[in-house]
Structure 1
Amino acid sequence: MTSKKPRAGSRSRVKDRDAVIGPSSLAHHRPAFADEADQPNRQDVALECGWGKLILAHTYAQPEDVAREVQGERAGARNIAIYVRDPHVILAQAPQQLFLDPSHTFRLALQSFAMPDDVAVAYRIRRLNSMEDAEAINRIYLARQMVPADPGFLWTHRDSPNITYLVAEDPFSGAILGTVTGVDHVHAFGDPEGGSSLWCLAVDPGATMPGIGQALVCHLAEHFRLRDRAFMDLSVMHDNEQAIALYEKLGFERVPVFSIKRKNAINERLFTSPAPDDAALNIYARIIVNAARRRGVDVEILDASAGYFRLTLGGRSVTCRESLSELTTAIAMSRCQDKRVTQRILSAAGLAVPEQREADGSDDDVAFLQQHGAVVVKPSDGEQGQGISVDLRDAGEMREAIERARQFDSTVLIERYCPGQDLRIVVIGYKVVAAALRKPPVVTGDGQHSIAELIAKLSRRRAAATGGESTIPMDAETERCVRLAGYAMDAVLDEGVELAVRKTANLHTGGTLHDVTHFLHPRLCAAAVDAAKALEIPVTGLDFLVRSPALSDYVIVEANERPGLANHEPQPTAERFLDFMFPFSITRETTYAQDAETTH
């Protein structure tokens, strides 16, 4: 296996001023503005950052002015007051609207900072230089459940002396893998201490290379060091142990600095105690519960560990287990649980499904494999990708996979392997509300770490991005996929070499979701709705294999009676679920995918 070549022309779109950020180029990024010595010490400074205002509280003379500025938050934004001297005094101005942010502030002394030897060089750190970059930054914010910023704002302010936007780019694909924002305090308010700060560090949860966050932090620090700034501050949640460990490794030290925010739905979990048992809910139940409370729907947690809760509005009450509710009948649920029944019903409805047989250990199993060349083995009743082996071409491996699948269900199915992209389409109320390509976990070599180490690093990042729901199992199936590619787990991949470490794209085994709702071919939308109607299930996730979501050909391989509604950003799947549960609670116009214009 050889490294991929850089994409043709991938560097040509980068302007000279936006060259790769590094010690040799950062010196040329000193802004051509008035002499910094002439910068006045400004008062009452609040910088608009796209996601809200950064309020430099120590530039304000009156605490009530800080409180007023924090409360002046525009809808959907988040204001942060940093460098608060007397937080108790500011909180006293509006105790019902403001709260003390439970974050630590860390400071890095820049004049003694040196780029660590282990900073990854497998990607390019550069400044934002196109509207495409701005849209990618916003996509990463949404994927990490962060407050989005208007891409137009980011693009318009790309040359601001106050704010610097850096991105990490994959030099092979041109994809944006991460982003960080820096604020220059000298240009922002004539800071006599010569400081700077770091904000909005975010890495794409689907990024396959390690060390992206560290590289962004270090290059921003070097950027400000070459501007002769004295320090760089950042704020991090007190319980974010992984991030704190990184900052301390880089030389950051805690400083007694406080921040204040406004109480709103975005940061509700920071200033309220969780409702009883809420902490035990998984991400799929939590997304619905939180959306319900924001809408004024009463929530009663029945069994948090199993995901059961009751939603009540007016005289209507519905019990749910995550996205499975009383509105799904036992018949519909059983049709989805038994994959044999699912296949027969969808086939009878004229929908495309792969050929299938029940494994019985006879020569007919081998004959089925020989007929189709490659097969999938899976338990008849299973979920979360458990017990599934894909693209089996050897009779011995097929028999081993059958035995693994029997650990999850006594009935095991052998299915014709259909190559293609794994597409999940979510249908609620017989309308398509979201579609996402599911991609298997892929690691990218850096020439330093073993495949096992790369998998562990990617697994930690996937877990952090999904509330612990997505991890890559270090099991026989992962080892088989690595071995099929010609590697051992302790092998070191060359820089830039990509390796898929699972064949399945299930989120629970490390897969990633990539929204394609507005590119979905109308025939795929229609097939998903027809499948839901054939199964008589109002809320379902259909698993398709397609050449492309923009093309019409497909096969349906599975229907899920309890589809996960999390990780489908930017589609508001939980909102659409509540629209279906409580249609009289809808407060804005609802647009569904099949009603929207599609791109072919």
Structure 2
Amino acid sequence: MMKPPTDEKAGRLRAAKAVAHRMRRWRVDHSCCAQHAHASIMAAAPKEAQVDCGWGRLLFAQTFDQPARLVTALREEAPEQRDIAIYVGDPHVVIAAAPHELFLDPSHTFRLHLSTYRGSRRQASGFRVRRLSSRADACAVSRIYNTRGMVPVRPDFIWCNRDNRAITYLVAEDQATGEVVGTVTGIDHHKAFNDPEHGSSLWCLAVDPQARHAGIGETLVRRLAECFLGRGAAFMDLSVLHDNEQAVALYEKLQFRRIPAFAVKRKNSFNERLYSAPLAGYAALNPYARLIVDEALRRGVQVEITDAEGGFFRLSHGGRSVHCRESLSELTSGVAVSICDDKAVTRRVVERAGLHVPAQMAATGDEASLSAFLNQHGRVVVKPARGEQGRAVAVGLDELGAVKRSITEAEAVGGRALVESYFEGEDLRLVVIDFKLVAAAVRRPPCIIGDGRTTIRRLIEAQSRRRSAATGGESTIPIDAETERCLRLSHLALDDVLAKGREVLVRKAANLHTGGTIHDVTEIVHPRLVEAAIAAARAINIPVVGIDFMVNSPTEPQYVFIEANERPGLANHEPQPTAERFLDLLFPLSGSRAADCARGRI
């Protein structure tokens, strides 16, 4: 049994306890003061905050003390990059400091207050949104940027920043194919520079123009908003060009509201269309002509649009002038154009050069010959001898009545009709410039996916609107006799409701202008196919041409020649440098090639 402490011992014990208590209080107070001091330091955003996004830097102007410092930072923009100074409080003062170098971005800033955000009950159909998780995802995001004409970003940059707490990459994945079909990037301002407002922003929303599903862009925006809401962000901002009516309509639908915030950018070749008066007639150019004109302007090649609606323009550089219609230039002879213009002549020319061609007959009205040809080959293709953009082309016909009707339609377009044996496989386009392969792509016919609620007619119309928006109006799906024929092959009609998840081809031809999609296969195309395409170009003696084959697979050597296009559309082949190689052909010493020559690299 312990003895009770004496008074002296009790006093010493009480004193020791008091000291210990004061020490504990000191430690707590000291810790609180340190935490308070740390919090005070962290609450103040660092000066001259910026985030490298791969395509350029975001400069947060509110963290710059002086306009001169912001101007200096903008002058440090890297080559081939596009820096953006955002939240510029006095843009007129900043621009006045360097009026020949800077301009006010003609975009509106929209804000979504996350405290009032309400999610959608509608579930994504046919795709899912997730975080970027592989190098393949990074490559897909980079590819989508290229297809949408955005500043390119190296896949390795995206991959290396996947764990950057300030940057969030989301992707939309097609659940049937596993392909990445959309992407969006988010910037967490608090993680980036301890933003006292706890803001965030959305950048680089992009959907693959070949995507088959509706609502991908909206779902990406919603998922990013929910991500930032979960982190405690107060709002999510974005910048959108003032005349992008479709995007503005989407953001307003999602309850974004415009705020008085401004951005300043440097005058460079990528931004030129935002601050300089456009060329006369530029707005009327189609995407195929515009792609070449943009590349010419980037290189400093003079451009004169001679007939915008027809896609005609004149390019001049170094004392040389070349008149073009899209990718058809004065370097292509009239003889070569004549060979490509008549598909029967084209076939004979390339057959003599050793290429594999389908059996073919002219539609002369001899029903017995036509019936015999159909019986011999089982299925046939009917097309006008002269025509383009897939008009009046019917594929996979196996019934004499349908063949005769298609011949009538083809004759109305091209004067004469041709009937060819049908080759089962994929439609491969090879773009050959200066007798070298520049791009190879598989073209696939348009298909729709049912949702269990909507008629086939409405699904086609919706898909057609998306294709038109993605291609500048160049690709739409006609609703005509050929569409109805293809539906009948699946025992369907336009007013039927398609079951949820069911996919149906609505046309057999894979032409882009009738709603087809195009998928790059340049890196995997078989060398024998490349050799055959170049041989065809040499046989026709044409410097720029699109050679069409039917193939089992782009990775296999078997093929059948279909036709040669003397004016191939160079757009939609991203990331391949089709416009760059076209300008190289016309003006070898323009742009970067001139610099390479000066350095002795060429």
Same fold, judged at TM 0.5 (above): yes
SS of the equivalent of 2:213 reads coil
Confirm or deny: 8 A CA contact 1:297 1:311 kept in the other structure: yes
CA offset digits 1:444-465 (Å, max 9, x no partner): 2333433333323322222222
Q: Distance in 1 between matches of 2:458 and 2:207?
A: 19
Q: CA offsets per residue over residues 124-161 of structure 1, 9 Å max, x none?
A: 21111111111111111111111121212211221222
Q: Are the counterparts in 1 of residues 43 and 196 from structure 2 also a CA contact under 8 Å?
A: no
Percent identity between matched residues is 57
1:210 touches 1:454 (CA, 8 Å); kept in 2?
no
> Kindly tell me: are residues 494 and 79 of structure 1, through their superposed partners in 2, closer, same or farther at Cα, counting changes over 3 Å?
farther
Letter in 1 for 2:463: L
Does residue 283 in structure 1 map to residue 294 in structure 2?
Answer: no
2:316 maps to 1:312: yes
In 1, Cα distance between equivalents of 2:237 and 2:475 = 31
Matches within 5 A, 1:93-492: 93-363=97-367, 364-492=369-497
Q: Distance in 2 between matches of 1:60 and 1:229?
A: 22
Note the alpha carbon deviations across 1:317-366, whole angstroms, 9 max, x for none. Answer: 22211111222111111110000101111112211011111112322112
Instruction: Tell me the CA shift for residue 590 of structure 1.
Output: 12
CA offset digits 1:184-214 (Å, max 9, x no partner): 1121222222221111111111110111111
- 8 A Cα contact 2:588 2:594, kept in partner: no
Distance in 2 (CA, whole Å) between partners of 1:67 and 1:467 is 36
Deviation per residue, 1:202-260 (Å, 9 max, x gap) = 11111101111111111111111122221111111111111111111111111111111
**Which structure shows the bigger proportion of residues in helix conformation?**
2
Select the residue among 65, 74, 78 that pairs with 1:74.
Answer: 78
Distance 1:423 1:474 in 2: 25
Corresponding position: 1:494 with 2:499 = yes
TM-score normalized by the length of structure 2: 0.89
1:125 and 1:469 map into 2 onto residues whose CA distance is 29
Matched positions, count: 558
| Counterpart selection for 2:561 from 556, 562, 565 | 556
Shift of the 447–237 alpha-carbon distance from structure 1 to 2, 3 Å rule, reads: farther
Contact conserved, 1:369 with 1:375, CA < 8 A, in 2? yes
Matching residue of 2:579:
574
1:539 aligned onto 2:544:
yes
Give, in whole Å, the separation in 2 of the partners of 1:290 and 1:495: 42
Give the stretch that moved more between structures: 292-301 or 241-250: 292-301
Query: Contact 1:39 / 1:187 at 8 angstroms: preserved in 2?
Result: no
Alignment correspondent of 1:46: 50
Say if 1:426 and 1:539, in contact at 8 Å, map to a contact too. yes
Cα drift, residue 443 of structure 1: 2.3
Asked whether the 8 Å contact 1:111–1:228 carries over to 2, the reply is no
Pick the structure with greater CA Rg.
Answer: 2
What CA distance in whole angstroms lies between the structure 1 residues aligned with 2:39 and 2:132?
Answer: 25
CA drift at 1:48: 0.6
TM-score where L is the length of structure 1: 0.89
Gaps of 5+ in 1: 1-33, 592-600
Please give the residue correspondences for 1:494-513 in structure 2 after superposition, counting only pairs within 5 Å: 494-513=499-518
Q: Distance in 2 between matches of 1:36 and 1:199?
A: 30
CA RMSD of aligned residues (A): 2.0
CA contact (8 A) 1:36 1:186 kept: no
C-alpha separation in 2, matches of 1:128 and 1:39: 30
After TM superposition, give the deviation of residue 69 of structure 1 in Å.
2.0
Task: Give the 3 Å change call, closer, same or farther, for CA 51–491 of structure 1 in structure 2.
Answer: farther
Structure 2 spans left out of the alignment, 5+ residues: 1-37, 597-602
Instruction: Kindly indicate whether the alpha-carbon contact (under 8 Å) linking 1:54 and 1:81 is maintained by their aligned counterparts in 2.
Output: yes
Q: Distance in 2 between matches of 1:489 and 1:463?
A: 20
Residue 15 of structure 1: aligned partner: none
CA shift in 2, pair 1:371/1:589, >3 Å: farther
